[in-house]
Amino acid sequence: MKSHQTTQTMKPATAAKKLGVYLEATPAEFQEGVVSRAELAALQADPPEWLRELRRNGPHPRPVVAAKLGVSISGLARGGVTDPLTTEQIEALKAESPEWLVHERTVQAEVRKEAVRIKEKQAERAAQTQPPRD
């Protein structure tokens, strides 16, 4: 008996998330179809113009907006940013540097420092519990 492999597909929302783009800004044929793993790989390897344009100018989904602003997604929400933003809007926010953005960037920097401290402490403990090598 011969086994045949079925092509794995994903919903457009999943593919958009993996591509780092806002689904509602993608072309209709992308939104209405399904995307195979091979198609996703092709889009990542050689993005069409619409994908390059979306990545360059947006609108960007919240994870991308948060990363470009240097804050967490929760920090965006606390700052009142719940909608996708274009690159131009993100740059304007950076230039304006509202109080909430300054605060959230500080919080994010502290979170990163704490994560590094914990990782170093865990590595130190692991090194202490290892038996000496000959």
Please name the residues in contact with 44: beta carbons below 8 A apart, sequence gap of 6 or more.
18, 19
Q: What Cα–Cα distance (Å) separates residue 16 from each residue in 20, 65, 70, 106, 114?
A: 6, 15, 22, 30, 32
State pTM to two decimals.
0.74
Average pLDDT over the chain, rounded to an integer:
89
Q: Locate 132 and state its tokens.
A: 């000496």
Decide: 22 and 58 in contact? Cβ < 8 Å: yes
Beta bridge partners of residue 60, listed in sequence order: 85
* pLDDT for 7: 78
Give residue-wise pLDDT tens across range 9-62: 889 999 999 999 999 999 998 888 888 898 999 999 999 999 999 999 989 999
Decide: 76 and 68 in contact? Cβ < 8 Å: no
